[in-house]
A and B are shown apart, each in its own frame.
Chain A
Amino acid sequence: MEGELVQPAPEETPRDANPANVGLELFGYVGIEAVLDQMRIKTMKTGFEFNLMVVGQSGLGKSTMVNTLFKSKVSRKPTGPGYEERIPKTVQLQSITHVIEEKGVKMKLTVTDTPGFGDQINNENCWDPIIKYINEQYEKYLREEILISRKRKIPDTRVHSCVYFVPPTGHWLRPLDLEFMRRLSKIVNMVPVIAKADTLTLEERAEFKKRVRGLGRESVYPQEDFDDNSDDRILNNKIRDKIPFAVVGADKEHQVNGKRILGRKTKWGIIEVENPAHCEFPLLRDLLIRSHLQDLKDITHNVHYESYRMQRLNESNRLALSPINGLLGKDEVESDL
């Protein structure tokens, strides 16, 4: 409360009734802004964590997209010619963790892939393993948080964002897509994208988006309820107008006009991945990494995790368990995951 330390000269501050509510002008350099530098140095030392989950049918380019996003071979799949793709019989969850560094900032990136989703003939409840996994991560964090002597930095494995790949049929969302998005947008930040969007011409893309957009507008990220102020709202509205993004992934470089560009080379032209006229990959990348990464983490922590925590503690209160004692034995708690 700087206002109390520095007494303003009466002629400089024409204020209203309550001095505590009004920001006070400083007449000298205090050095408050240096706190930003301190934060920056600190976070650079500790690094960021980011957990991403990619969900979609096999062959929609999920691994390629992740590689393109982080411009490195993050994903588990080698893209060599002799590689055999096997569709697993049930949905499996595979996580890979990498530490990426850029300009001194370290990021611990965990990508969770879900092979086998939506590939079977009978896809009922294929989202159950995914929901279970997400809740398990929340549970882990909850347990750490409830302990009496907690770690200084609780390892955060909670899924911060789930990118859902919609196949570019050009007609409508399939029932499977709808069901999945409805269920999961309640527990995690859901970012739907139109995969392999080079299938659609621009008109088809616009048509598809129009049809798809009406559904679940409130639930996909960025959620309307969590806009902090009007600036945020304007920005997020712009983003919401474009959801779902029509993306194309590529991890090979080609020569275009003397520059090396990431793209796909076909007989009728080169699709440039980072060209906003060709596809919306730059928008996705900005959303996930450049502008909203911290926001994603905050919402996961403040909204989704809190609702999970509330639910769990309500349940365990019925079991006469006090969170203060931290007596959470493994056998006592029955998680309804």
Chain B
Amino acid sequence: MPRRQGGSEMRVALQIHMPPSSALQDDKEYVGFATLPNQVHRKSVKKGFDFTLMVAGESGLGKSTLVNSLFLTDMYRDRKLLNAEERITQTVEITKHVVDIEEKGVKLRLTIVDTPGFGEAVNNTECWKPVADYIDQQFEQYFRDESGLNRKNIQDNRVHCCLYFISPFGHGLRPLDVEFMRALHQRVNIVPILAKADTLMPSEVERKKSKIREEIEHYGIRIYQFPECDSDEDEDFKLQDQALKESIPFAVIGSNMVVEAKGRRVRGRLYPWGIVEVENPAHCDFVKLRTMLVKTHMQDLKDVTRETHYENYRAQCIQSMTRMVVKERNRNKLTRESGTDFPIPAIPAVPDSETEKLIREKDKEVSARAGAWVSCQGLHQSHSRMWEAWLELRAALSPTPACSCAGLWSPRSPWQHRQPAAGPDTLPAWRISTSIPLEELTESSSIHSAKLSSALWPPAATTPPWVSLSQNWASGSFPPQELAAPFEGRVCSVHGANWPISLPLLALTHPEADVVSTLPGPVQD
């Protein structure tokens, strides 16, 4: 008979031996998915966690010591400090140390990114650029991996948290601190830290913390915000959370050494006037920082990085790629094979034959859908044919002058109408332009100038214009049917004449036309 074990054991919904009736009653209502967290837990323990922490700040603020104290390892055993002569020419570097830590069966792969040389030089303009570039690089790498074909083993090197060390010797934030944080707050979670806090008396600590908080607000820097407590958490937790929020920036002290104090061995610093204990909450905020970073908020930091910072980067990336592709397209001839609707970052890996086949199939499908899509050049040819037909029709119609403005306007101001110099035989400007190849058309011809085309054809905000057009064409109905309705019975406000025939050409050429999309044209940004 299966016994009911403790809460962590999974209760099997299907029982082999029928239990007594009361247990059966229970099982009827019990589905069993309450054990899902345990399953997740087991899986992640097997897989292990990874966390990337960046430490940034001027040299000599105790960054390495703090990292060693936080994770109780010695990451910087082989570090050599440069002497002053060498440092004059030093630039900011980014160094990475990876360490695998295991505690009670849980594995953590910890990556520490350090920034030696930051703020060291006499002229520190843009010294945060290498740091920002590094973070962007990691995002880009992840973006490529994510958009690639093989996504099984993506390595997540994105920086999850940046501890920024503020010097305790200044009065609040220095200009360099402000610039660094402003450059990075959109890219990474910044947790400000007041370094070497054993320099400060308690009143000074309070004063500096409130000053720094004020300045952070004043400059609009968005540091990492702790998530709000749920209302059903217990009071203790809420108080703790509140205390945590009010301790920003954390005033920390780090130490690699263990000293003897009052008979106990503590991690701390030994001074002639006393001993500073690193893990004493009354002395500094080290314990709070460690709790926050490792025990309570590590997952949240990763989530915010993934959901906010990475998504922002991705959106920006895609937008800029879209714009680039559009520009590229407008320069080259548009052909059938000119790509799919949405740009994908170049896949660096060599696709195998299976995927090649897949790609080819997709290609066929796409072109089949856009069946009526012909090249722009062909489009212009067909339009010129239609224009000629219309001219003939107009000539054959009633003597009342048709709207003489059709197709004639000065290149300089599209809305200015000018009388045709020599009657109906004068070719409209639009007509002339069809003999110009498409490349030159976009550049020189002002008829397809940006203002005009966008005024005639405001592109929809979200979908690219060619997408909607292909849909139109794919549906098989050529625009004329749809456009007929708006123009029937309309009177040209400029010339007072009746609109003779509604044609998409007229729609293109008349300033009053408010047609949404007739022709694909060059989209200017």
A-side residues, CB < 8 A to B, are 57-61, 81, 85, 87, 119-124, 167-176, 178-179, 195-196, 198-199, 201-202, 211, 215, 264-272, 277-278
Query: Is A215 within 8 A of B84, CB to CB?
Result: yes
Query: Is A179 within 8 A of B273, CB to CB?
Result: no
B193 to chain A, nearest CB (A): 15
Closest 6 CB pairs of A and B: A169-B60, A269-B274, A268-B274, A269-B273, A85-B171, A59-B170
A77 to chain B, nearest CB (A): 10
Query: Is A264 within 8 A of B201, CB to CB?
Result: yes
Alpha-carbon gap, A196 to B283, bound state (A): 18
Query: Is A121 within 8 A of B125, CB to CB?
Result: yes
* Chain B residues closer than 8 Å to A278, beta-carbon distance: 272-273
Task: Scan B160-181; emit 1 where CB is below 8 A from any A CB, else 0.
Answer: 0000000101111011100100
Alpha-carbon gap, A87 to B410, bound state (A): 60
Number of A-B residue pairs, CB cutoff 8 Å, is 111
Alpha-carbon gap, A171 to B122, bound state (A): 17
With A202-B271, A266-B200 given, can you name 11 additional A-B contacts, CB distance below 8 Å?
Answer: A59-B169, A121-B123, A122-B122, A170-B60, A172-B82, A174-B87, A175-B120, A178-B88, A198-B271, A268-B277, A272-B273
Contact flag A266-B201 (CB < 8 Å), given A59-B169, A60-B169, A271-B273: yes
* Chain A residues closer than 8 Å to B58, beta-carbon distance: 169
* Chain A residues closer than 8 Å to B35, beta-carbon distance: none
B247 to chain A, nearest CB (A): 16
Any chain A CB within 8 A of the CB of B61?
A: yes
Most chain A CB within a 10 A radius of its CB, from B60, B172, B207: B60
Any chain A CB within 8 A of the CB of B444?
A: no
Q: Which residue of B lies closest to A212 (CB)?
A: B84
* Chain B residues closer than 8 Å to A270, beta-carbon distance: 273
Most chain B CB within a 10 A radius of its CB, from A196, A201, A202: A201
Q: Which residue of A lies closest to B172 (CB)?
A: A85
Query: Is A172 within 8 A of B198, CB to CB?
Result: no
Query: Is B272 within 8 A of A196, CB to CB?
Result: no
Contact flag A175-B274 (CB < 8 Å), given A81-B207, A121-B176, A266-B202: no
* Chain B residues closer than 8 Å to A121, beta-carbon distance: 123-125, 175-176, 179
Contact-residue bracket for chain B: 35 or more
Task: Select A268's contact among B61, B179, B271, beta carbons within 8 Å.
Answer: B271
Alpha-carbon gap, A318 to B122, bound state (A): 36
Alpha-carbon gap, A268 to B125, bound state (A): 39
Any chain A CB within 8 A of the CB of B276?
A: yes
Alpha-carbon gap, A302 to B52, bound state (A): 60
Any chain A CB within 8 A of the CB of B40?
A: no
* Chain B residues closer than 8 Å to A196, beta-carbon distance: 169, 199
Query: Is B274 within 8 A of A198, CB to CB?
Result: no
Query: Is A173 within 8 A of B84, CB to CB?
Result: yes
Q: List 24 A-B contacts (CB under 8 A).
A: A59-B170, A59-B171, A85-B171, A85-B172, A87-B175, A119-B170, A121-B124, A167-B169, A169-B58, A171-B81, A172-B81, A174-B59, A175-B87, A178-B84, A196-B169, A198-B199, A198-B271, A202-B271, A266-B201, A267-B202, A267-B282, A268-B271, A268-B275, A269-B271
* Chain A residues closer than 8 Å to B201, beta-carbon distance: 264-266
B-side residues, CB < 8 A to A, are 58-61, 81-84, 87-88, 120-125, 167, 169-172, 174-176, 179, 196, 198-202, 207, 269-277, 282-283
A259 to chain B, nearest CB (A): 15
Task: Select B198's contact among A211, A215, A265, A266, beta carbons within 8 Å.
Answer: A266
Alpha-carbon gap, A267 to B276, bound state (A): 8
* Chain B residues closer than 8 Å to A269, beta-carbon distance: 271, 273-274
* Chain A residues closer than 8 Å to B269, beta-carbon distance: 201
Alpha-carbon gap, A201 to B274, bound state (A): 11
Query: Is B271 within 8 A of A123, CB to CB?
Result: no
B173 to chain A, nearest CB (A): 9
Query: Is B174 within 8 A of A87, CB to CB?
Result: yes
* Chain A residues closer than 8 Å to B61, beta-carbon distance: 169
Alpha-carbon gap, A199 to B201, bound state (A): 12
Alpha-carbon gap, A176 to B169, bound state (A): 16
Contact flag A211-B273 (CB < 8 Å), given A169-B59, A171-B60: no
Q: Which residue of A lies closest to B121 (CB)?
A: A175
Query: Is B120 within 8 A of A174, CB to CB?
Result: yes
B341 to chain A, nearest CB (A): 45
A252 to chain B, nearest CB (A): 9
A283 to chain B, nearest CB (A): 16
A79 to chain B, nearest CB (A): 11
Q: Which residue of A lies closest to B90 (CB)?
A: A175
Query: Is B271 within 8 A of A58, CB to CB?
Result: no
Alpha-carbon gap, A123 to B174, bound state (A): 13
* Chain A residues closer than 8 Å to B59, beta-carbon distance: 169, 171, 174
* Chain B residues closer than 8 Å to A176, beta-carbon distance: 122
* Chain B residues closer than 8 Å to A211, beta-carbon distance: 83
Query: Is A58 within 8 A of B196, CB to CB?
Result: no
Alpha-carbon gap, A174 to B120, bound state (A): 7
Query: Is B121 within 8 A of A268, CB to CB?
Result: no
Alpha-carbon gap, A170 to B167, bound state (A): 13
* Chain A residues closer than 8 Å to B122, beta-carbon distance: 122-124, 175-176, 179
* Chain A residues closer than 8 Å to B270, beta-carbon distance: 201
Alpha-carbon gap, A172 to B117, bound state (A): 12
Alpha-carbon gap, A198 to B277, bound state (A): 15
Alpha-carbon gap, A215 to B59, bound state (A): 19
Query: Is B84 within 8 A of A199, CB to CB?
Result: no
Contact flag A175-B88 (CB < 8 Å), given A124-B123, A199-B196, A266-B198: yes
Alpha-carbon gap, A76 to B37, bound state (A): 63
Query: Is A268 within 8 A of B84, CB to CB?
Result: no
* Chain A residues closer than 8 Å to B88, beta-carbon distance: 175, 178
A255 to chain B, nearest CB (A): 15
Task: Select A202's contact among B121, B167, B272, B274, beta carbons within 8 Å.
Answer: B272
* Chain B residues closer than 8 Å to A60, beta-carbon distance: 169
* Chain B residues closer than 8 Å to A122, beta-carbon distance: 122-125
Alpha-carbon gap, A201 to B169, bound state (A): 17
Alpha-carbon gap, A265 to B273, bound state (A): 10
Alpha-carbon gap, A219 to B414, bound state (A): 77
Query: Is A195 within 8 A of B169, CB to CB?
Result: yes
* Chain A residues closer than 8 Å to B282, beta-carbon distance: 267
Alpha-carbon gap, A271 to B207, bound state (A): 20
B263 to chain A, nearest CB (A): 16
Alpha-carbon gap, A48 to B196, bound state (A): 41
* Chain A residues closer than 8 Å to B175, beta-carbon distance: 87, 119-121
Alpha-carbon gap, A81 to B273, bound state (A): 27
* Chain A residues closer than 8 Å to B81, beta-carbon distance: 171-172
Alpha-carbon gap, A175 to B86, bound state (A): 9
A86 to chain B, nearest CB (A): 9
Alpha-carbon gap, A224 to B272, bound state (A): 33
Q: Which residue of B lies closest to A179 (CB)?
A: B122
* Chain A residues closer than 8 Å to B200, beta-carbon distance: 266
* Chain B residues closer than 8 Å to A59, beta-carbon distance: 167, 169-171
Alpha-carbon gap, A195 to B168, bound state (A): 12
Q: Which residue of B lies closest to A252 (CB)?
A: B201
* Chain B residues closer than 8 Å to A124, beta-carbon distance: 122-123
* Chain B residues closer than 8 Å to A85, beta-carbon distance: 171-172
B89 to chain A, nearest CB (A): 9
